[in-house]
Structure 1
Amino acid sequence: MLKEEGYNVLISQKPFRLEEVKEHTPALILLHHGLSNDGSIICQSIKNCPETKDIPIIMSSTRPDLPILAEINFANAYIQKPFNIDEFLDLIKLSLNS
């Protein structure tokens, strides 16, 4: 879907490596926060690193506490799953332009 909208997409597989983020310097990170706290750890790692702290992060999840998780982990935005595709694309555009 994002490629169809003209975005270059890189999918990162587990395990998370901060070095991979530094190497590719993405314009935006879409981060799924699952039932474990991996999403929190990843978000904090990126935001606590001087080289990556300014990369916008959009956190997504089905968790009802997502707004709180996004705030305490310094995500720039969040979107609750399931989400409307148009709203998701608007959030991406907004995050890239801020």
Structure 2
Amino acid sequence: MLFHVEMTVNLPHDMTSARADELKAQEKAMAQQLQREGVWRHLWRIAGRYANVSIFDVESPAHLHDVLSRLPLFPYMSMEVTALCRHASSVREGDA
């Protein structure tokens, strides 16, 4: 199942820069691993914001929830999730 997820990060103003850097490094490592595994199919930065638009390819909504809730920055994110399905006019057979 494909899902469009828009994530916005809101780190607390009183978080130390060392803690923020640690969380960001952990987030980057996990995001890259999920991309290599094919779970996090696409990742784009939203210009001018600490936010991204992503496409996830997961087994179920519960699987997506599990993946997202394990992200190191999850406690500091607001997310909008939209389920996707293949458009009848799409020429890409691999997008289910």
TM-score of the two chains, using structure 1 as the length reference: 0.28
Bigger relative contact order (CA 8 A; separation at least 6): 2
Q: Please tell me whether Structure 1 or Structure 2 has the larger radius of gyration of its CA atoms.
A: 2
TM-score of the two chains, using structure 2 as the length reference: 0.29
Please identify which structure carries the higher helix content.
1
Please identify which structure carries the higher strand content.
2
